[in-house]
Amino acid sequence: MIPREFFTQPPVECARALVGCELVWGRCSGLVVECEAYAEHGDPACHTFSRPSAREFVARHRAGAAYVYFNYGMHWMLNVLVKGDANGFVLLRAIEPRRGLAAMMKRRGGRSGRELTGGPGRLAAALGVTGRDHGRDFCVSPGRCFLAGDRVEVVADARIGISRAKELPWRFSMADSPFVSVPWLGKRKPSRGYQPRLGQKRE
């Protein structure tokens, strides 16, 4: 089980490191094959940029807490909070199912492959994530946690599904995985470290 210290890395480094790890969610699990980083300060695409409730969440919760929100009134989105020298969130965008496939397919109306868990809304729906999971701690129970994985080739590309700061190469994917929401476009090289802040800290 990945310890809390793992989630004290800066968001970009944590997002990259999560690719290839296994997400355990009750009786279901899957390899993380795609995720995105969001920085607490200076990132206009991050909830903390415009939502006081998100900033309060960061202040009140420990690293490794689940940040769950309802997107466009349609889909739940599952993130993990990272806190350390630089705070933020990692959005879980896609997994490769490992356990509980039948249950996931039932929740998704029989869909499979990329249509099953390739995308943050699909992923959350397949696992049965809801607003009740907001604030869950990924570091205290083997029923809701991340397991360390093997080394995999990780590629970076621009974030997608957002309108601001979408050019940042903060979307990380497992190379050649058929389960990612959008295949790597080959426009970015793998990121080597945390990117500079985009702006000033908001009070």
The predicted-structure confidence for 129-172, as pLDDT tens digits, reads as follows: 999 999 999 999 999 999 998 889 999 999 988 878 888 899 99
Half-sphere exposure of 153 (CA within 13 A, CB side): 5
End-to-end CA distance of the chain: 35
Residue 186, pLDDT score: 66
Residue 164, pLDDT score: 85
**Percent of the chain with pLDDT strictly greater than 90:** 80
Q: What is the pTM of this model?
A: 0.90
* CATH code at 4-174: 3.10.300.10
Strand-strand pairing, 88-99 and 66-71 = unpaired
Mean pLDDT (whole number) for 40-66: 95
pLDDT at 8 over 70: yes
CB crowding 31-51: b at 16 or more within 10 Å, else e:
bbbbbbbbbbbbbebbbbbee
- Report the alpha-carbon distance of residue 127 to residue 94 in Å, rounded: 11
The predicted-structure confidence for 163-198, as pLDDT tens digits, reads as follows: 788 888 999 999 989 999 988 776 544 444 433 333
Residue 187, pLDDT score: 53
Using an 8 Å Cβ cutoff, are 189 and 14 in contact? no
Measure CA 109 to chain center: 23
